[in-house]
């Protein structure tokens, strides 16, 4: 029987579920000394670890932070198989020691580290990818800090979402060896932190100082746009924001397509605009 206990001091441990009786799987990461834990944790099955890293598109240039890192398998797998760097945060000192020993044994001790630390006090700004297996209320409490990360940062969560902040991608896996839950399935969610682009923007085009006017409203990564080209409103058919990259597709009264592809950099949007089959025109938008 699984008993769920929610404590402020341990609820954000890897999934923060506590089992009355649970034998850790025999893996490269879960060694015998993990059995001495007073409160056994619930590890993320390796199948889910691999799927989370794939969804987050983790690679050699990434710095990954795993919140509630348990035996360290997420960070160690990212380093050994994908060349990433990173660290894990865990509140149980024995799991921290276990994970650091496993990192050395797997040959990645120079690229990863595990620390005994409160995840709410952990700096996250270095991360290009954050992984987590936490309870829903913890996810929601973390949400403001996650939203404040650098645009383009990927956040991957096992089983639990971030409330009204809709995921950019979602996948459900069959996980026969999952130690909790009657369905033996896992949900994986991906979010990409968006640049803040809401506001009124203007840019010159074709020699006209106010050639393009762009009005943007935003909720998380969902953006609505109004676009005016040389004083004439265009009908916007699609607006997409992914990290710093903003794309606006529109058409004029003659159904000629107009496309803007812009990169958000602080108070400016830089990129190119193109009407119909004309040449791309590089432009810079300033917020007003």
Could you read off the pLDDT of 184-206 as tens digits, one per residue? 999 999 999 999 999 999 998 76
Residue 167 to residue 123: CA distance in whole angstroms: 23
Residue 91 to residue 9: CA distance in whole angstroms: 8
Contacts of 254 by beta carbon, 8 Å cutoff, 6+ apart: none
Pick from 49-53, 72-76, 208-212, 240-244: least confident: 208-212
Judging by beta carbons within 10 Å of its beta carbon (0-12, 13-18, 19+), is residue 247 exposed, middle or buried?
middle
Mean pLDDT of 86-95: 95
Please report the pLDDT score of residue 283 as a whole number: 87
pLDDT at 135 over 80: yes
Please report the pLDDT score of residue 8 as a whole number: 36
More reliable by pLDDT, 121 or 40: 121
14-192: what fold? Rossmann fold (3.40.50)
- How sure is the predictor about 274, in pLDDT bands with cuts at 50, 70 and 90? confident
Instruction: Give domain limits for the chain.
Output: 14-192, 199-287
Tally of CA atoms within 13 A in the half-sphere of 105 that contains its CB: 14
Residue 104 to residue 82: CA distance in whole angstroms: 17
* Cβ contact 180:17 at 8 Å: yes
- How sure is the predictor about 288, in pLDDT bands with cuts at 50, 70 and 90? confident
Predicted confidence (pLDDT) per residue in 44-66, tens digit: 999 999 999 999 999 999 999 99
* Cβ contact 67:90 at 8 Å: no
Q: How many residues does the chain have?
A: 288
Is 83 in a helix, a strand, or coil? Answer: coil
Rounded to 5 degrees, φ, ψ at 16 are 60, 25
Q: Which long-range CB contacts under 8 A does 7-10 form with residues at least 24 apart?
A: 9/91, 10/39, 10/91, 10/92
pTM attached to this predicted model: 0.84
pLDDT at 104 over 50: yes
pLDDT at 36 over 80: no
Among the four given CATH numbers 2.40.37.10, 1.20.1300.10, 2.40.128.20, 3.30.70.2190, the one describing domain 199-287: 2.40.128.20
pLDDT at 31 over 90: no
């Amino acid at each position: 029987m699984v008993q769920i206990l929610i404590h402020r001091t341990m609820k954000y441990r890897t999934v923060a579920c506590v089992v009355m009786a649970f034998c850790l799987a025999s893996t490269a990461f879960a060694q015998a000394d993990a059995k001495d834990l007073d409160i056994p944790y619930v590890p993320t099955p390796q199948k889910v670890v691999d799927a989370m890293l794939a969804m987050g598109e983790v690679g050699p240039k990434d710095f990954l932070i795993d919140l509630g890192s348990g035996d360290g398998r997420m960070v160690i797998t990212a380093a050994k198989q994908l060349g990433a760097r990173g660290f894990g945060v865990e509140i149980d000192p024995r799991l921290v020691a276990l994970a650091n020993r496993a990192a050395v044994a797997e040959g990645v001790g120079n690229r990863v580290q595990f620390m005994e630390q409160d995840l709410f006090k952990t700096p996250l700004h270095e991360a290009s990818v954050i992984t987590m297996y936490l309870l829903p209320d913890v996810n929601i409490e973390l949400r403001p800090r996650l939203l404040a990360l650098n645009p383009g940062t990927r956040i991957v969560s096992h089983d639990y979402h971030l409330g009204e902040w809709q995921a950019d991608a979602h996948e459900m896996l069959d996980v026969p060896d999952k130690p909790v839950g009657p369905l033996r399935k896992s949900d994986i969610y991906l979010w990409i932190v968006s640049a803040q682009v809401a506001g009124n923007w203007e840019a010159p085009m074709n020699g006209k100082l106010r050639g393009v006017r762009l009005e943007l409203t935003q909720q998380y990564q969902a953006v609505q746009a109004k676009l005016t080209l040389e004083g004439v409103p265009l009908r916007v058919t699609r607006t997409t924001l992914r990290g710093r990259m903003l794309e606006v597709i529109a058409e004029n009264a003659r159904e000629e397509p107009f496309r803007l592809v812009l990169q958000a950099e602080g108070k400016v949007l830089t990129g190119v605009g193109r009407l119909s089959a004309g040449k791309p025109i590089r432009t810079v938008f300033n917020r007003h």
